[in-house]
Structure 1
């Protein structure tokens, strides 16, 4: 084996491009990725012709491919929502998968293609221009159309009729035709699974809720998967940005021919485990199983049976959003017990179990009430994974992949254990700096004192750097951690995400 995988990410952000590479390195695998300049910027699509050349260039030296259909067909995740190209053009671009498989039939090929999200706001930064005027109305139309279809509730039917009068017909028609095009492209991928062009296919549900046109599309895809009996090859669950981590880890296990690990979930609260996370359509405990199943593992009922103890911090009653400052009062409630949960983590560590921590209490940041307590009793170096970024699915999939790589090195060592520990510690320190120091602390400080829309990118970046350097030094010093920081940048010139470049990164 070459111990190399080619990844075509969904876009050029660090969490989608660099994170899978960092996680794979824990397992002593290299992930080849295109230069970020080829991957577009927000609505600007990636250079699809150059990316096709890149795939053919690296193909001879890799053991497999993990490919984003959104990047391959539309030029990225955001461009997939605004792309004006026709269905035939997009399917033609995707046709390279068959040519790739024909030339390299023995190389694994896994792909992922998002179900187009529908955001419930008037922000058109990642949507079509008319979203600033009709975004909420389009979301409501989607929600109530599907709700009426599923439940027959008259109030939803009346709301749909009302919205049809409020939304200009040309805008509604454009939105629905864009959705239909994306659905038909996704539907065509099932044929590639049937003819064994694609070995594993994931349809992640990007930013979803209980009802919506996107959920209806997922239900139709699920029916087609069931009819064609593609259960072992096609996975549908909430997520998006973390899918490359999941598939890279899955491919490494298959290539290494190692049994997939088992997981024992430990929740900080029963009510929170049964609650539905924001931007998802199912209880957190079901999202945990979905992420583990997509990777290739499964959960067990006893810690003694498990290869990995999966410690999940959940909200007391309902997940909050630190970025939007929503539902904050429903997170830290008596419906959970963080102290007892941490004691259980310490107990399993004393039993020499691999323990990984996934924080889903909030969207867009780590729980500030949980983390100081955790690090007050547990050293980061004792853990096999940590994450708490963006949606619950993003966090869960990332931590599953991290812990899986540590387990791989335990079962089939290809690195000295001290090197494995160093690599996972650096990866977790990066997540702590990004998910906690930046998202939970610095981003809130920046947003409280700066109007993003009124300042230049340079001013915004300088403010972020000033606050981040101050907070990160304090954090790293307090917990005796180190991180080889080279640069701080805003990948998409906004505060939503941060880039932390390492000194050893090219």
Structure 2
């Protein structure tokens, strides 16, 4: 059985480990693109070359396991950094529709993350402004969501007002705009399930805060 596998990114946990697991079964052949097509950390994948590879392999595989982050944004970190329009992102997503159209009997399994919201200052895997304002962006989302859902205490109101004064609005707007665009892709993949394009969809997350941007996106 041949399975086409498009990983979330180039890290060993996503690129090498699944291949190691697949080798435990003699009857399983995992078709994985060359690692150089998958980008490198904040450098996005070469989507044109990647899709050329997928199209070439799709006719000989029995199923496909696809990362939406890789195929829409060029990888996990690119999903947190991109400046692409919704139209561009949807064009990328619709390549999966075309894949199914050309291979109607191919089961497509996919994963599409809810974008995380780190609660700390670090730009290693986030936009550059997260180095100084990451914690403030998390706190703004947490307090704004809690305010809308059940209200804030007096100290929380004071903290919210201070953050709104100190946090550059351009950074907050950039972050919120990207999240909104990514939410539209989340919804688009759900629509693909309803249309029968995607057979199985997993929507994981690595941020379980009760309030905040990620909690909003869950809804």
Task: With the length of structure 2 as denominator, give the TM-score of the two structures.
Answer: 0.94
Q: How does 1:5-154 map to 2 (within 5 A)?
A: 5-28=3-26, 29-154=28-153
How far does residue 192 in structure 1 lie from its aligned partner after superposition?
0.8
Shift of 1:121: 1.8
Unpaired segments of 5 or more residues in structure 1? 221-506
Q: Residue 184 of structure 1: CA displacement?
A: 1.2
Aligned counterparts, 1:353-392, within 5 A: none
How many pairs were matched up?
217
- Identify the residue that residue 497 of structure 1 maps to in structure 2: none
* Structure 1 residue 193: Cα displacement: 1.0
Decide whether the 8 Å contact of 1:148 with 1:156 is kept in 2. Answer: no
Q: 2:109 aligns to what SS in structure 1? A: strand
Distance 2:157 2:19 in 1: 47
For each residue in 1:325-367, what CA deviation from the matched residue of structure 2 results, as whole angstroms up to 9, or x when unmatched? xxxxxxxxxxxxxxxxxxxxxxxxxxxxxxxxxxxxxxxxxxx
Q: Cα distance, 1:125 vs. partner? A: 1.1
Q: What whole-Å deviation, never above 9, does each CA across 1:422-463 have from its counterpart, x for those lacking one?
A: xxxxxxxxxxxxxxxxxxxxxxxxxxxxxxxxxxxxxxxxxx
Kindly report which structure 2 residues correspond to 1:394-433, keeping only aligned pairs within 5 A, or say none.
none
Distance 2:53 2:195 in 1: 25
After TM superposition, give the deviation of residue 199 of structure 1 in Å: 0.8
Q: 1:180 to 1:157 in 2, by over 3 A?
A: farther
Q: Tell me, what secondary structure is at the counterpart of 2:70?
A: helix
Q: Verify: 1:203 aligned to 2:200, yes or no.
A: no
Cα distance in 2, alignment partners of residues 104 and 143 from structure 1? 44
Assess, with a 3 A threshold, how the Cα gap between structure 1 residues 24 and 149 changes in structure 2: closer, same or farther: farther
Q: Partners in 1 of 2:157 and 2:115 — Cα distance? A: 23
3-state DSSP class of the match of 1:26? coil
- How far does residue 157 in structure 1 lie from its aligned partner after superposition? 4.2
Q: Deviations over 1:209-232 (max 9, x none)?
A: 2322111111x2xxxxxxxxxxxx
Q: Within 1, Cα distance between the matches of 2:2 and 2:105?
A: 14
Name 2:169's counterpart in structure 1.
169
**In structure 2, what is the Cα distance between the partners aligned to 1:39 and 1:207?**
25
CA contact (8 A) 1:111 1:202 kept: yes
- In 2, the alpha carbon distance for the partners of 1:205 and 1:18 equals 21
SS of 2:207's equivalent?
coil
C-alpha distance 27-149 of structure 1, shift in aligned 2 (>3 A): farther
Please give the alpha-carbon distance, in whole angstroms, between the structure 1 residues aligned to 2:103 and 2:187: 24
Counterpart CA distance in 1 for 2:21 and 2:156 is: 45
Instruction: Report the alpha carbon displacement of residue 25 of structure 1 after superposing the two structures with TM.
Output: 2.4
CA distance in 2, matches of 1:161, 1:63: 55
Equivalent residue of 1:204, what SS? coil
Question: How far off its partner does 1:195 sit?
Answer: 0.7
Aligned to 1:178: 178
1: CA distance, partners of 2:80 / 2:166: 22
* Aligned partner of residue 203 in structure 2, secondary structure: strand
Please tell me whether the aligned partners of residues 10 and 77 of structure 1 are also in contact (alpha carbons under 8 angstroms). Answer: yes
2:215 is equivalent to residue 215 of structure 1 = yes
Contact 2:207 2:214 in 1 (8 A): no
For the Cα contact (< 8 Å) 1:109–1:200, is it kept in 2?
yes
CA distance, structure 2, for counterparts of residue 145 and residue 159 of structure 1: 11
- Partner of 1:107, secondary structure, is coil
SS in 2 for 1:52: helix
SS in 2 for 1:138: helix
Larger relative contact order (Cα-Cα within 8 Å, sequence gap ≥ 6): 2
Question: Does the CA contact (< 8 Å) of 1:34 and 1:51 recur in 2?
Answer: yes
> For the structure 1 residues 78 and 208, does the alpha-carbon distance in structure 2 shift closer, same or farther, using more than 3 Å as the test?
farther
**What secondary structure is seen at the aligned counterpart in 1 of 2:97?**
helix
2:143 and 2:152 in contact (8 A); partners too: no
Q: The residue matched to 1:116 in structure 2 has which SS?
A: coil
* Aligned-pair CA distance for 1:208: 3.5
For 1:158 and 1:190, how far apart are their aligned partners in 2? 39
Aligned to 1:434: none
Q: Which has the larger radius of gyration?
A: 1
Equivalent residue runs for 1:408-487 within 5 Å: none
